[in-house]
Structure 1
Amino acid sequence: MEVMTVLPTVDLGPPICKSIQFNGSMIEGECLSFSADYIGGEKGNCTHEWFRIKKKGFREKLTSADYWDLTLSDVGMCIELDYTPFRKDGLKGFPVTIRSSIIHPAEPKGTELIIPVCCEDRQVVPKKSYYGGHEGDGVYNWYRANKKMEMADMITTFSSEGALAVGNDIIYTPTLEDVGAYLVLCWLPTRIDGKPGEPVIAISNPVLAALPVVSNVCIKKLSSTAYVGEEKYYGGHEGPNIYSWYRETAERTTSIINGANPTIYEVTDFDYNFQLIFGYMPVRSDSIVGELKLSEPTKTIFPELPQIELLSFLGKEVEGEILRAIEIIPKVMYKYEKGEKLGPIEEVTIEENEEHVGVGIEALSQRRAEVTDMDPVPGSVDKTRMTLTCPSRGLVTLHDQKGKGHTSMSIAEWLKSWLGKEFSRPATIFTTDWRRCFPPDPGRP
């Protein structure tokens, strides 16, 4: 006969978290989870919450998930986990809290570096991404490369201290020298505590030239019959620019001067009573053409003031006779070449005493002569030899020549009106050059 013993009913213990711990490293980027040992009957739906402990102990709730990915916001702070055990029948146990150590930053590194389209004189701001704690002041070095390079070659070439940088800031503005070349940026990411990471290198496409533009277009007067156009070019390497000249009336009507393409323009008869305008169309070396810019008009062009080149007396130099002063029009030689009227330019050589050189130069300058050479006469103590050029229309006739010497010339007639002492010999040394001294003659074919 069997005897059954009835044992007393065993009561369930309260739900208790016997132990709890974090799993994972306390480093930015790591995944933090936890393990908890439960006792107290059959385990129910226990709850947990993650918190970030901020300054002054303020708790910021993060999530109720089973894990937490540590981010930059967690660096330098602690993470807390509140765990509350529950028995299957819903009985709640006492909550348990654990706190982590300080979260450390990850190793510094650059995850992305892209150089956008580069253009002359436009700031280049690279696109970059950093990881590894709070970013500090990184090191940036820009280089210019004449050809595209592989990444391995760039790391070897541009990471060395011997490479020459063209810029050392995160922002770089390409110059004219960079046009057509490649820009290389070497970035050394650095954490706020000064710890550097591995260098990151990026290379751009060829730097584009700016559009060709021109500024400060103006006209400068070279002489009474010549003007020059000036300007300031910008936009890549300068190419064969296009120049033009215009006539403008008092009513602001403008017409182009055909064939006037150089920067220097010589006035013709057709320009009288008009104003001149200089036009400049910039052209880049790759034939890209910019916008035409015009200068301000000059003052109205007028013929040179008439000058009396030679006066003579008409009549007998006798008491009771009437003397008249008349202008003598010199006989000037000229010829035509390709439809242009040319006048002779003479080379004049004069030798006279040194003390009278100033008088001679002053007289010759009034005849439009220009001194090209002046030296002592070989073998002489007090004589100076001057070489000048003068248009024949300038009439190289001197009434103020003094001292003893000789003069040589060509073409122009010499008048016997010397003052002072004798002159030893006639013309012996001369050359003649034909230049454009006249405006085109519209009546000539």
Structure 2
Amino acid sequence: MPGLTAPSDYNQDPPRHPQLLVNSKEPFNAEPHRTALVSSYITPVEFFYKRNHGPVPIVDDIDNYNVFISGLIENPKGLYMKDIRKLPKYNVTATLQCAGNRRTAMSKTKMVKGVGWDISAIGNAVWAGAKLADALELVGIPKCSHVTPSGGKHVEFVSIDKCKEENGGPYKASIPLCQATNPEADVLLAYEMNGETLERDHGYPLRVIVPGVIGARSVKWLDSINIIAKECQGFFMQKDYKMFPPSVNWDNIDWSTRRPQMDFPIQCAIGSLEDVNKLVEPGKVTIKGYAVSGGGRGIERVDVSIDGGKTWFEASKSQKASTTPYISDDENSDKWAWVLFEAEADISRRTEIVAKAVDIAGNVQPENVEFIWNVRGILNTSWHRVHIEIVR
């Protein structure tokens, strides 16, 4: 498209922070160390996980860059950045999480296919841009629409990048029209992240942010928007990012039997401790981590155990830098964002520390990964466990 090109190799990829843990070089996929991740409510851009499926696109003429909206509508229209910036600007604090977060731990039960993420394929940022609902009004789609007069029920986002899974074609995904046109869903055409212009790894010049939904639907390097009758038929909607039962393997998988994953489930993880930790002597241990649930569901509590799950106590929770206590359904809370939790415990012997979260709908993390193991290794939301050893 004018102004935005997709390289065929990785020679022009941007530089990255040297402390990132690289899980794949080409395409580049990396996450921060877990201790860096939980050190701040807003994840610094350089430590926000990088999830790519091909070489990072390049903007060569920002003035000519535009996103064309077409499909089952009467008035197709191309929007330039100046048009998008004229729309009301919104700031939305939202956590993005790769569906494969914590996949490495799932592989320990039984091997799965996919990038081997630890617990940091997740981040919380302040995204800024125009609401998609406002942009769609420019092409004649009213707010809170469920269908267009021509039968459009879904909004498809098409990137400019080149993915091997699409045989060199672009990445694409879709969301229902009723979500796209609902201002309360806070779906953004974002051009800023944490108060700065988007960086190339995170979708410059324009990306979609779909809060509360797996990161795979927040398409980067936006090329076009299509109003379609059925959900996107691309690879990443139809043959990836679907949740199968443990009985399904690569010999009997039938992708058509499952819907594309959208909202992510309740999730929490401990970030202040490694999988195995050695203490020189017994004493106090600080337990910090994150907890988040999809669909805008707040976190009701985070439970911590220092005896492998036999007994539990509640951790404190916080958002922002405020001293005001976090309340899960308060209007001043960031409904799309994680909470950070913290607890202290006296450790006197070798043990297992466990964390699990509960959201305002009463959803709780499953105890064991075996119960939710799936062939693609997505949505590992089992109790997060770390081990403590006393070295005398």
**Under TM normalisation by the shorter chain, which class is it?**
under 0.3
Give the TM-score normalised by the residue count of structure 2. Answer: 0.25
Q: Which protein has the bigger strand share?
A: 1
| RCO higher in structure (CA 8 A, sep ≥6) | 2
Asked which structure has the greater CA Rg, the reply is: 1
